[in-house]
Structure 1
């Protein structure tokens, strides 16, 4: 998640919003009021819509085009107000699902109606490419904090493999949930055997 977020006010000009998007390389620019409440978003498509004139070369042999009303000059006139948002504790898997199903390039994160961050597709992809050793350390730490028992943790390509002697069904379920909440985990499986310690 990116925080703090570069934002724009609804009374800003379209040109100012376009400059922010170009300068920072954003696909989505949140629109907020003076209290940082999310009012909408401005996308690249919103800014391009009805903003470019037709190719004049195509008009040489054609009749002049019918006059069209001028495009809005302010952000309030072009922004999208029906916005898909997330909470600060929304899991990366849910964010990824929203982005794929709704064709979203970024999702604003709100807390009590106030904008606190924004998550892009790249942010979600970063969880997929996390190093297995880093994932294993995080999973082991989370399981240790849960404090129920000691687990043997192994990770390969984001898939967590867990084992603990004497673990019952409840222990296994809790461990699976805890491990699955760790960034970068793409799967969890429980092993029946605990890995033998390396011999010196």
Structure 2
């Protein structure tokens, strides 16, 4: 599967001149962990996350002063997104989801912007990846059968799915079509493995 198969294209974004408080409010309201930052032309220029927006934002509780606890010196919080945004790792709509998962785990991030020709095309999150691997087998099977209909009559193919593992038998025993069937099946969300075989000869 590719990023384009699971990414969200209707993305909530902010600009470099957006107030940091407004960006924090958007994160809280939507339950996001990060927001892409784009310029006026739609080009991705950064990303801002909970971590950056929380830094130096919460003042020390004044009740601590009553007990004589020292006041910790803090920097003034950033006013604008441009002051706290960072350069993100990005992927393209054609990036393999296995690579996306590895990138997220390696960088310790929960979402990755999807960029096409420099412009933001979408965003993919850990939740998107989890959703793709947790689909019911019967839904996966139905989608595979629908896709295989373009490679011949639906009754030509025997399809079984168990825990995301797909078994396909081609009654017509055509090498080229079996390869096409495997490619089509592997592109279905939730598929973890594909085996395509010719019918057993008695």
- Relative to the length of structure 2, the TM-score reads 0.81
User: Are 2:122 and 1:110 equivalent residues in the alignment?
Assistant: no
Q: For structure 1, list consecutive stretches of 5 or more residues without a partner in the other structure.
A: 195-200
What do residues 61-115 of structure 1 show as CA deviations (whole Å, max 9, x unaligned)? 45444x443232110010112x122222333333223222322211111211111
- Relative to the length of structure 1, the TM-score reads 0.82
C-alpha RMSD of the superposition: 2.6
Q: For structure 2, list consecutive stretches of 5 or more residues without a partner in the other structure.
A: 1-6
Q: Take 1:64 and 1:28, find their aligned partners in 2: how far apart are those partners?
A: 31
Aligned residue pairs total 192
Q: Take 2:9 and 2:185, find their aligned partners in 1: how far apart are those partners?
A: 26
Q: Take 1:54 and 1:192, find their aligned partners in 2: how far apart are those partners?
A: 70
Q: Take 1:134 and 1:69, find their aligned partners in 2: how far apart are those partners?
A: 53
Matched with 1:44 is 50
Q: Take 2:96 and 2:144, find their aligned partners in 1: how far apart are those partners?
A: 15
Matched with 1:126 is 131
Matched with 2:26 is 20
User: Are 2:35 and 1:29 equivalent residues in the alignment?
Assistant: yes
In structure 2, relative to structure 1, the CA distance for the partners of 1:96 and 1:174 (3 Å cut) is same
User: Quick one: higher RCO (CA 8 Å, sep 6+), 1 or 2?
Assistant: 2
Deviation above 6 Å: which 4+ runs of structure 1? none
In structure 2, relative to structure 1, the CA distance for the partners of 1:101 and 1:40 (3 Å cut) is same
